[in-house]
Every structure is written in structure tokens, then in C-alpha cells.
Amino acid sequence: MNLTPAHSFATRAVHAGRDDLGDLGVHAVPIDLSTTYPAVDCAGEAARIEEFASGAQPSGSPIYARLHNPTVARFESALAELEGAEAAVAFASGMAAMSACLLATAAAGKRHVVAVRPLYGGSDHLLGSGLLGTEVTWAEPKGVAAEIRPDTGLVVVESPANPTLTELDLAALAADCGEVPLLVDNTFATPVLQRPLERGASVVLHSATKFLGGHGDVLGGVVACGEDFARGLRQVRVATGGVLHPLAGYLLLRGLATLPVRVRAAQASAHELALRLSAHPKVAAVHYPGLAVDRPGQMDGGGALVAFEVDGDAHKVVAAVELITPAVSLGSVDTLIQHPASLTHRVVQASDREAGGIGENLLRVSVGLEDVDDLWADLSRALDTA
């Protein structure tokens, strides 16, 4: 069945990446676990291996699993469809995806990156450490344009931001970036709630480990972008080998089918929990985009994460939950709680954490699919005992 733009998002989420299954005579997506493929026509393969190395996607045999995998390619085409992108390139993790974006940009001669905090702690660390040979200038959202230089290759933002859930006006940022590509980490919103390319961004990054997979059992990353940028990413992927495993590709494609249902159900519970937290005496502040009065407004709802500041010892709240799982990560079917200053943002310098609103009292909850009253019973009891 061929999808058209007339099909709704939910329909495309179910059917994307599967248009040839009827012709193949199968119902579930085949998983190709081959690491190598027969290469009888050596001269022909020599030309094709050069194409793969340049970041192209020649048809025919993948030759070797580091160059191409058909199961992963299905996930890539489905995610590109949902983000409204020309292409998508998948990686072994979200950080491998971020690394490829930086390496591809630097390889094109642009080593300077402008970035807006907060970002996920791992992204902050990768940029701040200069580990990949890039140089970062941290900017306020309204100060991005002033920091762009001739050697700036990328502007990096995350909205809603990890872990404070700060929302950014992506259209205004994209305008300020001019010719420089704006990369938006869309992990928290997912294409269900926000499609940054429609707002003028050029590159969308996901930790696919989170909502796209949705069940806490698959690690991956993916970048949706134009074909030119995708070529650079594939070139890096072929050279460095940070490929997504085909079984992960299968699970991520399966996850996309239920993404709209999962995200909207979790969002409804997150909104309710944010309201109840706001009225709890042990809660000093709630950070939830759906409760903010003055929002840039591109996300459809408040999302499935809630951050809040405890009036007391945040560590004791984490230790007291029973139904909710104390763990990093997000976007799973079960609800997770974690202390960003200790875990997800530990690799950010303490002074930068504090300046970014990632204090000792801040907790982040990723709301899952449990009954909201059961979640509130657990969370409010943990707050009461802390």
C-alpha cells in the first residue's frame, strides 16, 4: 500500500516503511541479519563500494552490513516520512547520531558550533569537551545570530530541553540561523507533537532509545534531514561503523506504529500529574510546557515528561517510589524518575548545571502508560515521606 500526504499521521505511523510487504507476501517486517552478502561480480561491486563510501545508497546488494542494512533502511524511511524529511540515517545510539552530525559538519570544513543550553548532559559534554575537534559557543536563544561566524557549521538546540523542559521558538531560531543548519533534538516531543523541519529547522535528531522504541529494550539514534546532509552522515557511518543493529531497526519500526497512541496517552497523564504536583505542599516548582502561560507554542500539548523541584530532599523521593522505576532514560511504557544533577547531567560542570536550572532539588519524571491515579498515589506518598 502506497502512502500519500493525504493519509493522516496515525495511518502513516502504522504503514510507513512497509509498502512492499504485500508484494513480498509477508505481514511482519523481515529481519536481515546478514553481515556479508555474495559478491560475484567483483568489478561491479568495486564501483558500488565506492558509492557507499561516499554516502550514496546504490541499489542492489548491501555488500557488507556496515555499509547498508535493509531492515534498518525501513526504519529510516519511516522516520523520514513522519518527520517530513527527505532522508533519515540511523545510528547505534543517540550519541553516535550526534557525533556523526558533528563529524560530518567538521569534515565539511566548519568546526564551530553554536549551542543553546540546556541540552542532554551527554550532548553538553560532547560539545563542551571538544572531544571531536569541534569548538562550541554557548548562546541564549536570542543571542544565537550574534555568535554565528564564517566557520559555524551547526546550531544545536533541544526543545523541550532535557531536563528542564524549556521550550524554544524554533521558527524564530531557524530565521536567526540564516544559512547555518539548525539541528533540533526532538527526542522529548517526537514527531507526534512537533515536527521541527516544518518550523524551518534543517536537521532533527532523536535518541530512538526513548519514545520511538517505546519499551526500554532497544538502543538507537536517528537523524532526519535533507539528502545532502544525509550523505555526509552515511559517509561518517560507513567510515566509523556506528551502525544500528537490524534487530534494533526492526524494534524501532515496530515502535513507530504505536508512537502516536503511546505519546498522547502518556501526555494526558503527564498533564494531570503536573497539575497535581503543582498543588502538593512538598513541591516548590513544576516545569511542564503544558502549564506554561507564555509558550512559543509549536508543540501540540505539554509532552510526556514533567520536571519539578522538591521542597526537601529529592534523593529521598527517588528512594521512596515503588511503582515508578528510579532510572535514567525516558519514553518507555513504564514511568521512570531520576535526579538529573546526579545522573543525566552529572557530566556537565556543576556551575553550568546550576546556571541552567539543574539544581539539587530537581527531579525528572518520564510518564508511562500506567493508570494516572496509581502513579499519583505512588508519587504523592513518596513526596509525603521525603
Task: Copy the grid coordinates of residue 38.
Answer: 555474495
Calpha distance 299→226 (Å, rounded): 22
Calpha distance 255→211 (Å, rounded): 8
Considering only CA atoms, which of 236, 49, 209 is closest in space to residue 133?
236
Task: Copy the grid coordinates of residue 190.
Answer: 517526537
Q: How far is the CB of 313 from ligand MET (least distance, A)?
A: 21
Q: How far is the CB of 142 from ligand MET (least distance, A)?
A: 26
Q: CA 192 from chain center: how many Å?
A: 12
Q: How far is the CB of 104 from ligand MET (least distance, A)?
A: 21
The 8-class DSSP code of residue 297 comes to: -
Calpha distance 47→14 (Å, rounded): 36
> Exposed, middle or buried, 131 (CB in 10 Å: 0-12/13-18/19+)?
exposed
Q: How far is the CB of 177 from ligand MET (least distance, A)?
A: 25
- Residues forming the site for ligand MET (CB under 6 A): 120, 162, 207, 328-330, 343-344
| DSSP assignments along 49-96, one per residue | HHHHHTT---SS---BTTT--HHHHHHHHHHHHHHT-SEEEEESSHHH
Number of H helices, E strands in the chain: 14, 12
Calpha distance 274→306 (Å, rounded): 6
Give the residue with the Cβ less far from ligand MET, 87 or 324: 324
**CA dihedral in degrees (55, 58, 60, 62; nearest 10)?**
-10
Cβ–Cβ < 8 Å for 77, 196:
no
Give the residue with the Cβ less far from ligand MET, 119 or 230: 119
Give the residue with the Cβ less far from ligand MET, 292 or 328: 328
Task: Copy the grid coordinates of residue 345.
Answer: 547531567
Q: Which residue is nearest to ligand MET (CB)?
A: 328
For residue 62, say if its preceding peptide bond is cis, omega within 30 degrees of 0.
no
Provide the terminal-to-terminal Cα distance of the chain, rounded to the nearest Å. Answer: 54
Name the strands in the sheet holding 182-185, side by side, starting at the edge strand that comes first in the sequence.
87-91, 221-225, 203-207, 182-185, 152-158, 112-115, 135-138
Give the residue with the Cβ less far from ligand MET, 69 or 162: 162
Residue 89 CB neighbours (<10 A)? 30
Give the residue with the Cβ less far from ligand MET, 311 or 360: 360
For 148, residues 6+ apart whose C-beta sits below 8 A from its C-beta are 114, 155, 177, 178, 180
The residues carrying an active-site annotation are 66, 120, 185, 210
Give the residue with the Cβ less far from ligand MET, 329 or 380: 329
